[in-house]
Amino acid sequence: MAAQEITYRDALRQALDDAMRDDETVVVIGEEVGRYGGAYGVTKDLIASYGEERLIDTPISEPAIIGAAVGAAMTGLRPVAELMYVDFLGLVMDQLANQAAKIRYMFGGQIGVPMVVRTQGGTGRSAGAQHSQSLEAWVMHTPGLRLAMPATAADAYHLLRHALTLPDPVVFIEHKALYARKERTDLAAPVAPWGQATIRRAGSDVTLVTYSRMVFTALEAAAALAERGIAAEVIDLRTLNPLDMATVAASVRRTGRAVVVTESCLTGGVAAELAARIGEECFDYLEDPVIRIAGEDVPIPVSPALESAAIPQPPVIISVVQRMLRR
């Protein structure tokens, strides 16, 4: 397959199409995933190829969607359950955190729950406080749940394909502001393995650790910092469970400084866990304390200007790094 311009959305659709063609046990279940083609168009036209038995439209009941997916996974299918927004995780935490995450352990390894929960998170569409959150810390906090958060179209494709081969439940969070982003890529070309971070930009002065949409925010900041003579390394974690601390630690030991950038809120979030782990594993190499740059501890505003101000932007990263390096 030659390199081509492809959107994040189309890469996800291709991953589902290829997986459903290769494995007849893969089914998609959720609100408007069939005839309508999904809230963000990821499953558009798949029903024409696979029919209503494999693209299953459900009532508006998130607990029913995840509960049915858990049961289907335990009895031989490999369901892809779509939650229209990550904000609805609160409705399904019993099915997801108390059942799907624990069944392999509770049954002594005799049965697993090979399902993928596709959902959409983050800001950028002025969707308001109940449809714009970044709740990956909820998932990361629950043992038994795998968690993928791809930034690029290539990773969206490959991480979803791999998630659909795993024996345990995967929460797959897609950033809603990335769906229309185009990327020239060859989907047949290999990417980093599942669970391994990628260095998106090499640098020697400071390590920026991030994932999902914030990868591009960090890259923009790194490009601006380079013009000021500062070489920032940008690490895209790609998955948060498994978490590749080896790549992060190796980078921080070289640069001596680390900044964690997340869209999720500051208090008790993923940034706190990453900062703590870096502090524990790289203490002897750090020239400065690890800095967290994260979303504000506020409900996400619907106003575009206020929404933008509630999450990290390149000027903030640039300012923090310059102060760290005293330049």
What gap in Å lies between CA 56 and CA 33, rounded to an integer? 7
Those residues with Cβ within 8 angstroms of residue 109's Cβ, 6 or more apart along the chain or in another chain? none
DSSP letter at 300 equals P
Q: Exactly one of 24, 52, 53, 62 is catalytic; which is it?
A: 62
What gap in Å lies between CA 211 and CA 265, rounded to an integer? 14
What 47-55 contacts at long range (C-beta under 8 Å, 24+ apart), as own/partner pairs, is: 49/17, 49/20, 49/21, 50/20, 53/27, 54/20, 54/26, 54/27, 54/28, 55/27, 55/28
- For the question of residue 158 being annotated catalytic, the response is no
Q: Exactly one of 31, 131, 136, 158 is catalytic; which is it?
A: 131
What gap in Å lies between CA 252 and CA 250, rounded to an integer? 6
Residues 71 and 107 sit within 8 Å (Cβ to Cβ) = no
- For the question of residue 296 being annotated catalytic, the response is no
Residues 96 and 86 sit within 8 Å (Cβ to Cβ) = no
Instruction: Give the catalytic positions in this structure.
Output: 62, 131
